[in-house]
A and B are shown apart, each in its own frame.
Chain A
Amino acid sequence: MPIPVSYSVRNLWARKYTTALTAGGMALVVFVFTAVMMLDAGLKHTLVSTGHPDNILVTRRSSGTEIQSGVARAQAAIIESQPEIAIGPGGARMASKEVVVLITQPKRGTGVPTNVTVRGVGTHGLAIRPQVRVISGRMFRPDSAEITVGRSIAERFDGTGIGEQLRFGGRHWTVVGVFDAGGSAFDSEVWGDGEQMIQAFRRTAFSSVAARLADPSQFDALKRRLESDPRLTLDVKRERTFYEEQSQVMSNFISYLGLTLSVIFSIGAMIGAMITMYAAVATRTSEIGALRALGFRRRSILVAFLAEALFLGLTGWVVGLVFASTMQLVQISTMNWQSFSELAFRFTLTLEIVGKSLVFALVMGLSGGFLPAVRAARLKIVDALRAA
């Protein structure tokens, strides 16, 4: 015969101040734990959604990022002419030879000079990236000194309003529109015409080539052929894989930091729960004796106190999660250490994170309440009744 659950809940309710403090401590831990996971998820989501599953991205071997890569014109032509590349409208191959450089722009408000990615795209650069949509103004005209800026750039940087001009590569470039790339890394980029940029920056080589595959399953064959071609020293990756790799360093850092913090903080919260539960056991010794005398088993007592600790954890989880979910409104922008450029991403809450934080909170409650519950269950009836 178990003790009713309401017994555990009411006991928590009876000591509101203590319960609030303990659950509050737990809520903070849950908040930190969840927020860190949300940050990591947001970063990954942003970078993964940047790559299109049917696209490939070709960079120079072992360059790691587009900024450090170089693909000569002759090499780009070879890539473009591969049979696996899709044929677009007008019979041209759907490939975009791109120039990717960093420029320094002051951030709006703070004036902090920040590295911004500028991407010169080829003729099919827009066609192979369907997630990019113009939200105000228009797209840049090919072969002109016009640029279109990503949404995060328009929000965060000086001189990026429509009609304003940016100066880089020894020329002025007029902003003619703002595009939205569906929360991907392109939102933190400035786009213009590839051929114009290669001239302006006096380069002889493109940075990378992005292309659409006619049949995504042909990727491995194409990769083998290109990477074994003696004329090329290039890496061929699925666009999605490439961008996923761009998140590794930051993601590792965030995860390690988050894990370390959560472990340390949860120790604090568990101690709080333990103190509370030990006190609960100590003040209710005679009560426990009475329950045992009525015929409740040791196991029932153990379960009742464990339930109390679980409810503490549950309360902490609910409060912590409510606060963490408000973080979804926050957009964070920082330098991605791998590409050295500005990247804006949001705290993203997923069902998986909700589940993980629930488990985390319950484990915290359980581990805090376990020892006190055992002590309660092991009390001898006679001693317990004698305690005043």
Chain B
Amino acid sequence: MQFLKLVLRNALRHRLRTALTLLGLVVAILSFGLLQTVVDAWYAGAAGAAPTRLVTRNAVSLVFPLPLSYRDQIRAVDGVRAVSHATWFAGIYQDPKNFFPQFAIEPRTYFAMYPEYLITPQEFTAFLRDRKGAVIGRKLANTYHLGIGDTLPLRGTIYPGAWEFTVRAVYDGIDAKTDTSQMFFHWEYFNETMKTRSRSRADQVGVYLVDVTDIDRVAEVSRAIDAMFKNSLAETLTETERAFQIGFVKQTEALVIAIRIVSYVVIVIILAVMANTMAMTARERLSEYATLKVLGFSPVYIAALIVGESVAIAVIGAGIGIAATFPVSDWFAAKVGTLFPVFKVSGETVALQILCAIGVGIIAAAVPGRRAATVKIVEGLRAIG
């Protein structure tokens, strides 16, 4: 208790310097938290994937579609519970900046396979009844202020022309990890429109989604599907939904790694600032430490005083920084809109923030602490700050 009092009193002796150091810490811990959250958001699609869902795509690459006839063949494979499909639409809403995923889907099978998308039965029925209807996620609805009954026009890029949809349902996520920034519409309507606009591109789908009866059979089923279409015009590649999502992240790995490195650089910068502060503090109080030694306090106690002060400042700064991370990340998520579908500060991030702060506190005090503990009493008393 006495020790703690001494430490805090010491920290408050140089108000301005302590305040500045605290401010620096808050900024550093806050930005570290934000950067980690950005990295998490990058992997969010993979984190929300169910382990028993497979994605079957064209083996050459995603840009090539698969024939509709594969649906029934895949359904017949032993171990497959259900099959659905989704086609990436890549339309532009008002401006290319307003990016959000759009899929042409087969509603009944698709939403049965994705229980994490919650739609009220009335709205779902309304969507089924309207051929030009669309289902949008809550986040998407909030970002662009879209409500039930609103028209949602898209300009096609892969599928040329103007497309119009009517919002018939808004879905919510089952938890914070669910992506609610997507839009879904009827593949049937999409296909009929393609038949009139570009005959050769009709009756095709982007990827098949396969639900496997039990998790132990996932590998076997995916091999069976790929074997079935070997040497056909459209060979397939089937992988778990998680692997499929991570595939995208992997390709932008370089950026993720850069962001990770940078998030630790900010900690190193604040470490330099903190070490500087502690070095000055110790230098100014060298004669006091010598006095304490004369009174019989052990070198360890003196070192502990300095480390304690450093850690105390670090922990207080981290506390404020962590508290600020939440509102700031919410503001950031609102700003970037649908670019990052899921943007939540994880418990792991907070733990890392605390660890970094304590680490900075200890390391910053290492050199000055040692110096104060080992200083000769005579020299210490002679020293002028």
- A and B together in one complex: yes
Residue numbers of A with Cβ under 8 A of B are: 17-18, 21-22, 24-25, 28-29, 31-32, 39, 60-65, 67-68, 101-104, 112-115, 168-170, 201-202, 204, 233, 257, 261, 264-265, 267-269, 271-272, 274-276, 278-279, 283, 332-335, 337, 340, 342
**Nearest neighbor of A100 in chain B, beta-carbon distance:** B63
Most interface-central of A67, A233, A268 (chain B CB within 10 A):
A268
- A268 close to B251 (CB less than 8 A): no
- B61 close to A28 (CB less than 8 A): no
Partner of B247, one of A32, A113, A337: A113
- B280 close to A279 (CB less than 8 A): yes
A-B contact pairs, 21 of them (CB 8 A): A18-B279, A21-B273, A25-B276, A28-B268, A101-B61, A102-B60, A102-B61, A103-B60, A113-B250, A114-B250, A201-B64, A204-B200, A261-B31, A261-B262, A268-B24, A268-B273, A269-B269, A271-B23, A272-B273, A275-B273, A334-B251
Partner of B251, one of A61, A63, A201, A335: A335
- Tell me the complex Cα distance, A31–B23, Å: 22
- Tell me the complex Cα distance, A62–B161, Å: 9
Instruction: Verify if B223 is at the interface (C-beta below 8 Å from A).
Output: no
Interface-side segment among B46-54, B123-131, B188-196, B253-261: B253-261
Partner of A279, one of B17, B59, B156: B17
| Size band of the interface chain B makes with A | 35 or more
Q: Which residues, 12 to 57 on B, are CB-close (under 8 Å) to A? A: 16-17, 20-21, 23-24, 27-28, 30-31
- A333 close to B254 (CB less than 8 A): yes
Partner of A28, one of B157, B200, B265: B265
B276 → chain A, closest Cβ, in Å?
4
Instruction: Verify if B324 is at the interface (C-beta below 8 Å from A).
Output: no
The main secondary structure of chain B at its interface with chain A is helix
- A342 close to B60 (CB less than 8 A): no
Q: Which residues, 146 to 172 on B, are CB-close (under 8 Å) to A? A: 155-158, 160
- B272 close to A112 (CB less than 8 A): no
Given the complex, which residues of B lie within 8 Å of A283, measured CB to CB? 385
Partner of A112, one of B96, B250, B276: B250
**Nearest neighbor of B368 in chain A, beta-carbon distance:** A17
**Nearest neighbor of A276 in chain B, beta-carbon distance:** B276
Given the complex, which residues of B lie within 8 Å of A112, measured CB to CB? 247, 250-251, 253
Q: Which 7 A-B pairs have the closest CB atoms?
A: A335-B251, A25-B272, A272-B273, A271-B24, A334-B254, A21-B276, A102-B61
- Tell me the complex Cα distance, A201–B247, Å: 23
- Tell me the complex Cα distance, A332–B256, Å: 12
- Tell me the complex Cα distance, A163–B358, Å: 57
- Other A-B pairs beyond A261-B31, A334-B255, 15, CB < 8 Å: A21-B272, A21-B279, A22-B273, A25-B269, A25-B273, A28-B268, A112-B250, A113-B247, A115-B61, A265-B265, A268-B28, A271-B273, A275-B21, A275-B276, A276-B276
**Nearest neighbor of B231 in chain A, beta-carbon distance:** A170
Instruction: Verify if B76 is at the interface (C-beta below 8 Å from A).
Output: no
* With A113-B247, A275-B21: A104-B272 Cβ-Cβ less than 8 Å: no
